[in-house]
Homo-oligomer: A and B are copies of this chain.
């Protein structure tokens, strides 16, 4: 059996908070009980031609297993979930609905959250920052309100834990430092349930170890 190899930043800009996109892939691999190697890349290496042959947009992660190389964290999580137990239900309809939540996490819930993070990173010194941040908070709250109503008092989004929950929780974690999650107690509890899973903890510790080792060496 070939070893799975993923790529990740050698010095993640999130300072070990598990917000880089290797985190959901590590989590999925841990849920599936799969061993994997990690190839660490500098920012320059991620943008270089060699890496771009596997990742056209110069990002991490990639996933290599034998002859197959994949990019896009959502696609990698789905690939793992389709081939190993623990991340998708067996029933075909339930499986399709779990995959719908994977797409919802990345195409509906995440974009306003990432936009808010980008504004915080790159527009903090612009005259418009405060006014625009209020607009972005409102867009994020619209999504969180909808999600909170759907989640109600259930444990996971649709039956048992699935790759849809994994990606949704990975996306929501970007809001941890914003205080916005605390406005929706059932969402905060849902994220905490995800973070309490042993597979999440192993994945989180593995990416944190990379960050701390690099910081100590630097």
Contacts and interface: CB of A to CB of B under 8 A. Distances in A.
Interface class of chain A by DSSP: helix
Copies of this protein chain in the complex: 2
Given A71-B100, A111-B115, 12 more contacts: A57-B108, A71-B104, A72-B103, A72-B104, A73-B103, A74-B107, A75-B100, A75-B103, A75-B104, A76-B100, A106-B106, A106-B107
A59 interface: yes
Contact of A68 (B96, B122, B123, B126): B96
Interface stretch (A29-37, A144-152, A178-186): A144-152
A111 B74 CA distance: 15
Nearest to A53: B150
A186 to B, nearest CB: 14
B108 A79 contact: no
A57 B109 CA distance: 9
23 contacts: A52-B146, A52-B150, A56-B104, A56-B147, A56-B149, A57-B108, A58-B146, A67-B93, A68-B96, A68-B97, A70-B97, A70-B100, A72-B104, A74-B107, A75-B99, A75-B100, A79-B96, A103-B106, A106-B106, A107-B110, A122-B135, A123-B132, A127-B128
Interface of A: 52, 56-59, 67-68, 70-76, 78-79, 93, 96-97, 99-100, 102-104, 106-108, 110-111, 114-115, 122-123, 126-128, 131-132, 135, 143, 146-147, 149-150
Contacts of A93: 67-68
A114 B111 CA distance: 9
Contacts of A96: 68, 70, 75, 79
Contacts of A110: 107, 111
Contacts of A59: 108
B106 A57 contact: no
Given A96-B68, A107-B107, A107-B110, A146 B75 contact: no
A62 to B, nearest CB: 10
Contacts of A128: 126-128, 132
